[in-house]
Structure 1
C-alpha cells in the first residue's frame, strides 16, 4: 500500500519536473533569440541558424574522425580522473591527518590557471593524445577527490566501529563499507568532475592538436566564424547537460529522492 502511494505521489512530481525543465528551455531559447536580434548575427547567431549549422557540421565527412579523437581523449581522461580521484579521496578521508595536509595543497594547485602549466605538459607528453588526457585529468581529478574525501569524513562513525568489530581488512573496509556509504557524494563529485574533465580535454585540443572538436573550435575562432563556434558550443552543451542529468538521476536514486 505504501509503495503504491509513493508511486502515485512520485508521478506528479516527475511530471512537474519535466514541465519546469521544458518551460526553462523555452525561456532560454526566447532570450537567445532576443539577444541574437539585438546584437546581430555576427555576434550571436539565432537558435535556428545555430541548429542548422550544427547539422551541417555533423554531416561533414571529417566530423566523425574529430569526434572519435575527442571522445577517446576525454573518455581516457575521465576514467583516470574517476578511478584515481575516488581512490585518493578514500585514502585521504580515512587518514584524517593526511587529508588535512593535502586538502589545502590540492586547492592551491586547483587555483592555478591550468593554461600556465600547459608548456610543462607538452614537454613531458609531447603533442598528441597523452597531452590532452593529462590536461583533462588535471581539471577533473581534484573535485572528485575532494568530494570523496568529504563523503568519507561525513560517514557515520558507527560504520567504522562495526568494521573494527568484525576485524575487516583495509581493503574489505574500503570495498564493503566506505565506498557504498559514500556513493551518493562520490556520484556528485563525478558529476562535477565530468564537466571539468571535458573542459580540460577541449582546452588541450585547442592549444596543441591536429584534430578533434577543440581544434575545430580554435579554427573557427581564428576565422571569426560565429555560427560554427555557436554550433559546436551548443553540441557540447547538450552533451554535457544530458550526461549531468543522468548523473543527477543516479544520485537521486541513491539518496531515495523522488
Structure 2
C-alpha cells in the first residue's frame, strides 16, 4: 500500500514538474518576444504563432498528411529490411562473412548527402523522399540489430540447444526476446531521425509537407510560419515516440525498468 502510494506521489510530482518546465519555457518566450527589443522577425510571440496556426488551419492537415505518409512508409520499409538483414547477419556466420563488408562500406554514407543522387535516380516526387528515409532507417537498424544479436549471452543459446531446441525455437524463444529492447531503442532513434530526413528531402522540392511550410516561411520572411512548421515536426515526433514507448511497454513486460 505504501509503495503504491509512493509511486502515485512520484508520478504526480513528475507531472507537476513537467508542467512547471513548460510554463517556464513559454513564460521566458512570452517575455522576450513582448517586453524586449528583439524584433518579431527574429522571435515571433506565442500569440503570433497561435494566430498563424489559425490562419493556416485549413492547409496544415494537408502538410501533416503529406509528410507523415512519406515518413511512415519510408520508416516501415527501412526498419523491416534493417532488422531482417541485421538478424541474418548476426545469426549466420556465412551471411555475416558475405554481407557485413557491404554494410560496413555503406554505413558511413550520410543519407542527406545522397538526396541529390536519389532525386536523379527516382525523380523529385514521393519515391525519392521515401527512399531517403528508408535508407536512413535501414543503416541504423541493420547495425543496431547485428550488435544486439552479438550481445546475447551464448549460454542462453547453448542451454536451449542442450534441451533439444531447434533453430526456429531458439530464434523465437531466446534470441528475439533478448534483442527486442535494443531494437526498440534503435527504432525510437530512427523514428526521430526520419522526420529530419523527410524535411531535408522536402527542401529539395515538394508541394506539401513540413519542409514546404519551412521553405515558404523562409521565402516570404514569415518567421511565424517557419516556426509553425518546426512545432508541427516536434509535436508529431513526440507523438510517434510516445506511441513507440507505449508499444514497448506492452511487448517487453518482462524487462525490469527503473521506477519513474
TM range (shorter): 0.7 to 0.9
1:256 aligns with 2:256: yes
CA shift, 1:43, in A, is 0.7
Q: Does 2:235 align with 1:233?
A: no
Contact 2:210–2:230 (Cα < 8 Å) also in 1: no
Q: Which moved more, 1:63-72 or 1:79-88?
A: 63-72
Asked if residue 25 in structure 1 is aligned to residue 22 in structure 2, the reply is yes
2:105 maps to what in 1?
Answer: 105
Q: Kindly indicate whether residue 199 of structure 2 is the aligned counterpart of residue 202 of structure 1.
A: yes
Any residues of structure 2 matched to 1:132-211 within 5 Å, and which? 132-211=129-208
Q: Secondary structure at the match of 1:108?
A: coil
Residues 141-168 of structure 1: CA deviation (Å, up to 9, x unaligned): 2222333233222222222113323454
In the other structure, the counterpart of 1:212 is: 209
Structure 1: gaps of 5 or more residues: none
Distance 1:176 1:10, change over 3 A: same
Summarize the alignment of residues 59-70 of structure 1 with structure 2, pairs less than 5 Å apart: 59-60=57-58, 62-70=59-67
2:43 match: 44
Q: CA deviation at 1:192?
A: 0.5
Deviations 1:152-188 (A, max 9, x none): 2222222211332345454443333222111111111
Q: How many residues align?
A: 250
1:8–1:103 Cα change, 3 Å: farther
Relative to the length of structure 1, the TM-score reads 0.83
**Corresponding residue for residue 119 of structure 1:** 116
CA–CA distance in structure 2, aligned partners of residues 150 and 5 of structure 1: 41
C-alpha distance in 2, partners of 1:126/1:223? 27
- Worse-superposed segment, 193-202 or 153-162: 153-162
Q: Which runs of 5+ in 2 are unaligned?
A: none
Partners in 2 of 1:75 and 1:198 — Cα distance?
Answer: 10
- Choose between structure 1 and 2: higher helix proportion: 1
**1:37-89 deviations in whole A, cap 9, x for unaligned?**
453210121223213312332x22x4333332222111101111221122223
State TM-score, norm by structure 2.
0.83
Q: Does 2:55 match 1:56?
A: yes
